[in-house]
A and B are shown apart, each in its own frame.
Chain A
Amino acid sequence: MAVQLDDGAERTAPGTGKGGAPPENGAPPAGRPPRLPGRRAPRLPARRTPLPSARRAPYLLLLPALLATALFLGWPMARNALLSFQNLNMKELIQHLTDWRGTGNYQEILGSEQFWRVTFRTVVFTGVNVVLIMVLGVLIGLLLARLGKKMRLALSAALVLAWAMPVIAATTVFQWLFDSRYGVLNWVLDRLGWHSMAHYDWVGTQLSTFFVITVLIVWQSLPFVALNLYAATTTIPKELYEAARMDGAGTWKVFTSVTFPFLKPFFLATTFLEVIWVFKAFPQIFAINEGGPERLTETLPIYAFTEGVGNLHFGMGAAISLLTIVVLLAMTAYYLRLTVKQEQQEENEL
């Protein structure tokens, strides 16, 4: 598609035709009407014919972003890709040696059972967490909408506190809460009657370690989903709800017939982000038990780091990290394709 005149590139309000997302959603907050510039000496309206400069405009605007991405992401990625074909250990790093290994790293990784087990584990882990985050996040968001003003403010504040807690600080606190001997959680469980939990080793088995990690990640991620969902529901016109209620719809029905369709793009976009964020979760898993016990809670990013940076086999690490992107791309392919399709549709509608 050729460049179109931007002035002519009139488009429908964003979101329309896509599950009925509200165009005004997120638009200026009420009470802040846009300030129009004071009238000055009227000038002739801008020329309406396409200028070469107008053709170039989008590219010029995008230039800094593209340039920066090429330089600070593209370059390291390319370098990373080169490293993935090398045998790069401490010796090669220190002596500045380049030792090409062909596809050796990839063969070794793809041929190892470990990699496939970690991949499978990562996919399951991401799935479980994202589902938990989305379901609980939506429930809390809906709860916020139902609360009185004061209560809503209190819960929002609590959510914001959790959300803003820096990851490094949060992981440290969680380690402490789940400590087997001095942790608060075991103490509480003991007092509540589960005496066998008094010195329970939370990071002793794969499942319990994942439990701790999941609690941490869900705790950190819920506020984003819940608060945004609440904010989004406030943009749904009241009449829609009233109409649904008149038809005798219950809470669930209202959600499925009004809220969900209305906010579908929101759900898709948020799920996409959460998939990426959970999949890439690094400090959380690493801090809790360094991927242990016996490397059983390693997800792909941890696996890549432990092999690459931790054990100083940088070439291996690079190869794993590239395979990691492939896996992530596969997991998000649906959304990526959907987005491209929608954009195409929009462009065609013009």
Chain B
Amino acid sequence: MKRSLAGRIWPNATAVVLAIGFVFPVYWMFNTAFKPTQDIITEDPVWFPLHGTFEHFATAVNAPNFWTLAGNSVIVTVLAVGLSLLIALCGAFAIARMRFKGRKGILLTFMVAQMAPWEVMVISIYMIVRDADMLNSLLPLTCFYMLMVLPFTLLTLRGYVAAVPKELEESAMVDGCTRRQAFTKVVFPLLAPGLMATSLFGFITAWNEFPLVLVLNKEPAMGTLPLWLSQFQSQFGDDWGATMAAASIFALPILVLFLFLQRKAVGGLTSGAVKG
């Protein structure tokens, strides 16, 4: 199994090229964010922010309500993801471990639920929320975001629950645990990576949502960060520097979360996907 020199070089060379390709747009976002405006709009690209400036970040952060919106985004996202994990876990457990009438139908329902055209449903959701007099509140937003991620979460977790050997649970029960104890003490810890993996997906979805919050929460203090992010691209022209600075701030929590949870996340999603 000896590989030639070329055989050893090409994987690494390809990997380097790929890595650059994947990182470059992310790098360019940060690079642009730190450049003074004159270096952004140039015929010859400025590759490094040599004349670095925090001016664009200041513009972005000093926009009205930034901290309020950031707070709202965190609340809505965390609640939506947390709730959907909780609800999905119960459901996933039932579908993966139990046999009952209507199981296949329910499974199919969740698979199809992933196809929901949320962008267009915005108007019917709006009418429902308006008629219920719940506009300008974080509650409906949380509920609908939760549902946007619930089907994926449930289906993925179902795969994960199914992958936990049943015997573990049983031996715990033989040892005197109740079924619930067996679940919380044995199964649940094994599900942790899966929970993290699916929650990442949820975070991204809820964190990014724009069309719904635009019409539901018009009160400036009840918005979320995507609204803030969009304001730097306006009728009067795009403030690229501020847009990129805002995008950097916007992306940062997710990037950190990802890098932090990456190893567990990857394994988790796999198990979800494998269980077909």
Contacts and interface: CB of A to CB of B under 8 A. Distances in A.
B185 A276 contact: no
A277 to B, nearest CB: 9
Contact of A343 (B104, B147, B210, B244): B104
B247 to A, nearest CB: 4
B90 A228 contact: no
A332 B193 CA distance: 28
A152 B263 CA distance: 13
A151 B159 CA distance: 31
Interface string A265-296: 11011101100100010110000000000000
Given A58-B98, A77-B121, A245 B115 contact: no
Interface in B96-111: 96-101, 103-104, 106-111
Contact of A13 (B32, B107, B165, B267): B165
B22 to A, nearest CB: 4
Chain A, interface size: which category?
Answer: 35 or more
Contacts of A318: 120, 123-124
B208 A167 contact: yes
A186 to B, nearest CB: 10
B90 A282 contact: no
A156 B263 CA distance: 10
A37 B177 contact: yes
Contact of A3 (B20, B100, B163, B200): B100
A321 B111 CA distance: 17
A69 B174 CA distance: 36
A64 interface: yes
A184 B27 CA distance: 13
Interface in B240-276: 240, 243-244, 247-248, 250-251, 254-255, 257-259, 262, 264, 266-276
Given A15-B275, A58-B100, A64-B90, A282 B28 contact: no
Contact of A184 (B26, B28, B168): B28
B143 interface: yes
A217 interface: no
Contact of A66 (B106, B163, B244): B106
Contacts, number: 376
Interface residues of B, number: 126
B164 interface: yes
Given A147-B15, A169-B250, A182-B42, A65 B276 contact: no
B274 A232 contact: yes
A29 B100 CA distance: 31
Nearest to B247: A169
B64 to A, nearest CB: 19
A65 B14 contact: no
Interface string B186-214: 10011001100000100010011011000
Interface of A: 1-4, 6, 9-11, 13-15, 18, 21-29, 32, 34-37, 39-43, 45-46, 55, 57-59, 61-62, 64-66, 68-69, 71-73, 75-77, 79-80, 83, 88, 93, 140, 143, 146-148, 151-152, 154-170, 172-174, 176-177, 181-182, 184, 187, 219, 222-224, 227-228, 230-232, 235, 245, 263, 265-266, 268-270, 272-273, 276, 280, 282-283, 301, 304-305, 308-309, 314, 317-318, 320-321, 324-325, 328-329, 332, 336, 338-340, 342-344, 347, 350
Given A37-B186, A232-B270, 5 more contacts: A173-B29, A173-B32, A308-B120, A309-B120, A340-B107
In the A-B complex, the 3 residue pairs with the smallest Cβ-Cβ separation, listed nearest first, are: A26-B271, A14-B162, A169-B247
13 contacts: A25-B274, A36-B171, A45-B173, A73-B116, A79-B125, A143-B14, A151-B16, A162-B22, A164-B257, A169-B229, A169-B247, A273-B114, A309-B211
Interface of B: 1, 11-12, 14-16, 18-23, 25-26, 28-29, 32, 40-45, 86-88, 90-91, 93-101, 103-104, 106-117, 119-125, 127-128, 143-144, 146-147, 150-151, 154, 159-160, 162-166, 168, 171-179, 181, 185-186, 189-190, 193-194, 200, 204, 207-208, 210-211, 226, 229-230, 233, 240, 243-244, 247-248, 250-251, 254-255, 257-259, 262, 264, 266-276
